Chain A
């Protein structure tokens, strides 16, 4: 009998493929695997990919010690409105807060009503007489008789779930708790969620919206998790299962079922986790990670080796106030359409040809030129080897379309039009990165770019050049990149308490008390996860602002005792951060604490370092071919390499083209590409 192995598995379920990566914890050997996604029940595809990988690589499902899983189940349910019926119980007189929202327009010159997403119809929003004041005082007691009337109506309405969100419920949750208790007594089968548990932060609309989303997703995620557990157990997998949350941390299925709103960015956060890991492996501390696909360009920032997390994001125009990986998305991808507006000005997107009809060169009926068509025209993509030769591209069609729709009307040659479009693409991508960094007061020149996604490699070096960045990292295996990141995630519980007080010695006892409360709560959660003390970390941070500001800056608090010295240091670091991000500080003004945050981190089993599996010879790199490419305003021949043929330590001088199975990397002249020991590639600008 073979000795038992210890296999840790990560699965990322995307729209088309279910990706898996596993590592043998004893040997450090890692492999990836792909099977088609099964949209009706994604857990079927998950089991398929695990059994497939096990068969291919000779391990038993019983050998699996840990399964970590990124899912878009929550996001898809929201986007497709495949949601149950939710009743909302709120403070009487404020039933419409959820629908009024912040009532601003997105399109200021629009005259049509803008679509307003209201996930709970007015008829299912119920007010109950009660009132908590801004300092947590009870202004009006909870009217239990009225509550019973509301509970009757909730039952009659046939609600599947209930959300409870009361004004100032985040300061004093007593009434929310009492309502939940009453619901449990009278309607024990009905799932219920309260705002103080999901998003205990000021601003009633954002908190209520988050709470309602959480309630709506409970049956969705709980149902999914139950199916997942059943299927994996039936298949013989006994290992603990974790789900990746929007903050990049993992959660148990039970927690995920209780706070499913934390899963809304589960999918994309896998890519950011992977970027974080590759940043560590390649020893790059500050990285801008960009994922360019067919329709969009996602930007995330890694600073000092850690992903940047924000307190609020949005899904489909709805605010979601829970910590999530900070990500900026713009509508620019390979499928973005290039067009002339009625006044004759060249425009890029935001419309995308997507996969259907797709770019003109896909021969699927697309007629408008896209970014992919332009890359083909300029020789950056190869008509014969696209997607490993699976799709033969139509160069003539692409040229004809660009000629007729863009080059002729503008009086440009086709080369000038195509390379012009390319510079617009690069400027747009670089501009979005610049804005992301600007918001944090950061300078692109301090960062390396990390590029992945189907279209990223075509533009990454140009974008880096535009921003004055000197390095571009291309991960070894971009096509299962998210699974790679998920494989190494940790458990993270994010806790928060809003207490608006001046940050000074007088309020220190109160602040310390809240911090202790958070630490106790975080420790209890890690206890429940069964994590030993040596694998735990409790990270405290404070959201601070100048008195009167609406926005806070998150400043980490050190691990040590929170005393007067630590407090003074915290205030000083806030001034510094404010100066850095907004070009001024105001030392005359009081610094206020708004929210204390705790990340309770539990490191999952420590894996051996993951080593590259890429083969390739150690001999000097040898191009498989050469092709004409338009670079720096002229046509020239550039060597074409296959990534799989590149050995560790190989160096390629630009201009050069490197083909990965699903992507192409363009290395400009004046840049050199090196293959690192990890198998990842780094393009660096040559010293002048």
Chain B
């Protein structure tokens, strides 16, 4: 096959990443919900004409590394490529068509130049609400996907440039925040077209045949880079495990067991031994599991190239069907990220044996997604959705940063003033959780406390949390980070809530407090320097009676 020369390859590959970035800027600047515009819960990417991911904007690996699987599912089982027309937009949120959970709507648009399909653009957005049993989509009591919201199979929501109003109206009729959904969805469509426009310009500038042939070169390059990164790691079999607290319905923790086999430039990742799929909504589909493995493998292997799906080629994943990491229809999946994080931390823990100088102790290992279904005194309704993260794991050479996002879902926080300007919440605290970082020669990062008073008449609180039992692991003798917690205070009385909470009734004046886990420590706490301890005490990150006392006792 004809290939672009090395110069053209470099020029066009950069231009393709710029296209993905332009799409990302468009979503960022035009979206409506705080989820998208402040948390940045969305991703954009470019695919070649065959549907292979060739460029990504630097957003969320959990999204980016699942998009190709979704597109391939759509092409193989629903809408073959030959049927895609110029001006079409195909969208789905179905976890059983290659998606992850219902709030994530994944939209694709084919790009044509000179009458030929030359590329496909993709925008994934997490929408604020998708109907179903719980505002925000996290129905802790769901035992089948039907209880989690409106489910859209892969469909053409735009046909040859014409938005299918009846279909959009049907979706909007089934969600709690239709105006917000519509605004975010329009932003999604605009970004797809912005990308398409730039790709048509690229086709005109560098030729249709360049775009048609560049995919192979880009994917081969990423594959070579990934193989060389894996090849630099010592061959061996590395086993590890990590745990999800549970699904909120059945007793007991859920185990994620992983066996990494590094042989030359090949990596095998086997989840045999992992718990069976859960009754409750913590299940992960293959899309989630794969994206977690790819994230961990790319990060741990120190890949020196832009990520695209060529990186996946040397990685062989075995995920038993019907297990927690490859759930079968119609298992509920809304809280799939709780399992997704622990897939990433389990794989990283195995990698730590192969690359002990590079891999840190466990990060917080959970996304603290929460939502309130708000009912104002005048009957007006609102859905507040938000998310929080915790402390990063200690690195062999540095303490873990406190309250710092994992790259896997790389999310921002929402400014308190922005929330208070829109929702009936009044924050009482946002800061580091003292003594929550895992002790060690290098201390784990501290988790966060986020606390607010509810000021509307009534509300229903939903939470998709974890890490209340299963704490972030330490490495090389470092201790675990502190567990997470959720409580509500009413009239001075504190009620502890479970990690998976649905419909907890809030009244005006109730104070909701969430504590996120701290990161694990690295190395024995007895080896921590006196100067580092003194600094931590002076900054109030540890207390003499808590964490500091423990370290002192071990000395």
- Interface pairs A-B: 9 shortest CB-CB: A550-B37, A548-B32, A420-B7, A96-B431, A108-B407, A93-B429, A134-B420, A122-B539, A343-B225
Q: Is B272 an interface residue (CB 8 A)?
A: no
**A-B CB contact pairs (8 Å), 14 listed:** A94-B430, A95-B431, A96-B403, A96-B430, A97-B431, A103-B405, A134-B421, A167-B416, A203-B418, A423-B7, A431-B15, A582-B30, A584-B30, A586-B186
A549 touches B31 (CB 8 A): yes
B18 touches A434 (CB 8 A): yes
Instruction: Report the Cα distance A584→B197, complex, angstroms.
Output: 14
Q: Could you say which residues of chain A place their CB within 8 Å of the CB of B408?
A: 108
A546 touches B224 (CB 8 A): no
Q: Is B270 an interface residue (CB 8 A)?
A: no
Flag B1-45 by CB within 8 Å of A: 1 or 0 each. 000011101110011001001100110111111100110100000
Beyond A100-B432, A108-B61, list 6 extra A-B contacts (CB 8 Å).
Answer: A93-B430, A96-B402, A108-B410, A113-B401, A114-B401, A550-B34
A424 touches B401 (CB 8 A): no
Across the interface, name the chain B residue whose C-beta is closest to A583: B190
Most buried by A among B26, B295, B400, B416: B416
B417 touches A203 (CB 8 A): yes
Q: Could you say which residues of chain A place their CB within 8 Å of the CB of B194?
A: 582-583
Q: A410-B6, A546-B183 are in contact. Are A109 and B421 (CB under 8 A)?
A: no
Q: Could you say which residues of chain A place their CB within 8 Å of the CB of B405?
A: 103-105
Flag B185-202 by CB within 8 Å of A: 1 or 0 each. 010011001100100000
Q: Is B298 an interface residue (CB 8 A)?
A: yes
Across the interface, name the chain A residue whose C-beta is closest to B294: A109
A427 touches B15 (CB 8 A): yes
A94 touches B431 (CB 8 A): yes
Q: Is B415 an interface residue (CB 8 A)?
A: yes
Q: Could you say which residues of chain B place their CB within 8 Å of the CB of A303?
A: none
Min CB distance B512 to A, Å, is: 14
B221 touches A343 (CB 8 A): yes
Q: Could you say which residues of chain A place their CB within 8 Å of the CB of B432?
A: 96, 99-100, 122
Flag A499-512 by CB within 8 Å of B: 1 or 0 each. 01000000000000
Most buried by B among A105, A108, A438: A108
Min CB distance A156 to B, Å, is: 13
Q: Is B448 an interface residue (CB 8 A)?
A: yes
Instruction: Report the Cα distance A107→B429, complex, angstroms.
Output: 29
Instruction: Report the Cα distance A662→B530, complex, angstroms.
Output: 55
A435 touches B427 (CB 8 A): no
Instruction: Report the Cα distance A94→B398, complex, angstroms.
Output: 26
Instruction: Report the Cα distance A420→B11, complex, angstroms.
Output: 10
B25 touches A438 (CB 8 A): yes
Q: Is A346 an interface residue (CB 8 A)?
A: yes
Name the contact of A549 in the complex, choosing from B25, B37, B420, B426 (C-beta under 8 A): B37
Name the contact of B11 in the complex, choosing from A104, A105, A427, A586 (C-beta under 8 A): A427
Q: A435-B21, A546-B32, A583-B193 are in contact. Are A424 and B10 (CB under 8 A)?
A: yes
Across the interface, name the chain B residue whose C-beta is closest to A420: B7
Q: Is A56 an interface residue (CB 8 A)?
A: no
Instruction: Report the Cα distance A202→B417, complex, angstroms.
Output: 6
A109 touches B431 (CB 8 A): no
Q: Is A428 an interface residue (CB 8 A)?
A: yes
A205 touches B415 (CB 8 A): yes
A551 touches B305 (CB 8 A): no
Q: Is B413 an interface residue (CB 8 A)?
A: yes
Q: A113-B399, A345-B10, A423-B7 are in contact. Are A93 and B428 (CB under 8 A)?
A: yes
Interface size on B, residues (CB 8 A): 92
B431 touches A204 (CB 8 A): no
Q: Residues on A close to B: CB < 8 A?
A: 93-97, 99-100, 102-105, 107-114, 116, 121-123, 131, 133-134, 139, 167-168, 202-206, 341-348, 410, 412, 420-421, 423-424, 427-428, 431, 434-435, 438-439, 500, 546-551, 578, 582-584, 586, 589
Instruction: Report the Cα distance A420→B4, complex, angstroms.
Output: 13
Q: Could you say which residues of chain B place their CB within 8 Å of the CB of A439?
A: 25
Min CB distance B469 to A, Å, is: 25
A202 touches B10 (CB 8 A): no
Min CB distance B14 to A, Å, is: 6
Min CB distance A406 to B, Å, is: 9
Name the contact of B18 in the complex, choosing from A93, A110, A435, A547 (C-beta under 8 A): A435
B415 touches A420 (CB 8 A): no
Min CB distance B336 to A, Å, is: 19
B431 touches A93 (CB 8 A): yes
Q: Is B358 an interface residue (CB 8 A)?
A: yes
Min CB distance A229 to B, Å, is: 39
B395 touches A341 (CB 8 A): no
B34 touches A109 (CB 8 A): no
Min CB distance A465 to B, Å, is: 12
B539 touches A111 (CB 8 A): no
A344 touches B431 (CB 8 A): no
A99 touches B417 (CB 8 A): no
Name the contact of B224 in the complex, choosing from A112, A344, A578, A582 (C-beta under 8 A): A344
Q: Could you say which residues of chain A place their CB within 8 Å of the CB of B318?
A: none
Instruction: Report the Cα distance A346→B348, complex, angstroms.
Output: 31
Q: Is B546 an interface residue (CB 8 A)?
A: no
Across the interface, name the chain A residue whose C-beta is closest to B194: A583
Q: Is B541 an interface residue (CB 8 A)?
A: yes
Min CB distance B410 to A, Å, is: 5
Min CB distance B399 to A, Å, is: 7
Q: Is B304 an interface residue (CB 8 A)?
A: yes
Q: Could you say which residues of chain B place their CB within 8 Å of the CB of A341?
A: 225, 304-305
B299 touches A104 (CB 8 A): no
Q: Could you say which residues of chain A place their CB within 8 Å of the CB of B359?
A: 111
Q: Is B540 an interface residue (CB 8 A)?
A: yes
A109 touches B307 (CB 8 A): yes
Instruction: Report the Cα distance A586→B185, complex, angstroms.
Output: 12
B429 touches A94 (CB 8 A): yes
Flag B470-510 by CB within 8 Å of A: 1 or 0 each. 00000000000000000000000000000000000000000
Instruction: Report the Cα distance A412→B18, complex, angstroms.
Output: 27
Q: Could you say which residues of chain A place their CB within 8 Å of the CB of B183?
A: 546, 548-549, 586, 589
Q: Is B152 an interface residue (CB 8 A)?
A: no
Q: Is B389 an interface residue (CB 8 A)?
A: yes
B541 touches A111 (CB 8 A): no
Instruction: Report the Cα distance A592→B174, complex, angstroms.
Output: 27
Name the contact of A551 in the complex, choosing from B7, B29, B40 (C-beta under 8 A): B29
Q: A122-B539, A167-B417, A205-B415 are in contact. Are A99 and B430 (CB under 8 A)?
A: no
Min CB distance A89 to B, Å, is: 15
Name the contact of B395 in the complex, choosing from A109, A112, A123 (C-beta under 8 A): A112
Q: Is B538 an interface residue (CB 8 A)?
A: yes
Name the contact of A104 in the complex, choosing from B5, B40, B451 (C-beta under 8 A): B40
Q: A109-B407, A113-B395, A343-B305 are in contact. Are A584 and B15 (CB under 8 A)?
A: no
Q: Could you say which residues of chain B place their CB within 8 Å of the CB of A586?
A: 183, 186
Q: Could you say which residues of chain B place their CB within 8 Å of the CB of A105?
A: 404-407, 410
A346 touches B6 (CB 8 A): yes
Instruction: Report the Cα distance A480→B40, complex, angstroms.
Output: 43
Most buried by A among B6, B401, B420: B6
Instruction: Report the Cα distance A78→B91, complex, angstroms.
Output: 47
Instruction: Report the Cα distance A341→B13, complex, angstroms.
Output: 14
Across the interface, name the chain B residue whose C-beta is closest to A432: B18
Instruction: Report the Cα distance A345→B405, complex, angstroms.
Output: 31
Instruction: Report the Cα distance A103→B405, complex, angstroms.
Output: 6
Min CB distance A423 to B, Å, is: 6
Q: Could you say which residues of chain B place their CB within 8 Å of the CB of A410?
A: 6
Instruction: Report the Cα distance A434→B431, complex, angstroms.
Output: 40
Q: A344-B224, A439-B25, A546-B183 are in contact. Are A424 and B417 (CB under 8 A)?
A: no
Q: Is B300 an interface residue (CB 8 A)?
A: yes
Instruction: Report the Cα distance A439→B27, complex, angstroms.
Output: 12
Q: Could you say which residues of chain A place their CB within 8 Å of the CB of B428?
A: 93
B404 touches A500 (CB 8 A): no
Min CB distance B48 to A, Å, is: 17
Instruction: Report the Cα distance A114→B538, complex, angstroms.
Output: 23
Instruction: Report the Cα distance A113→B406, complex, angstroms.
Output: 10
Q: Could you say which residues of chain B place their CB within 8 Å of the CB of A551?
A: 28-30, 37
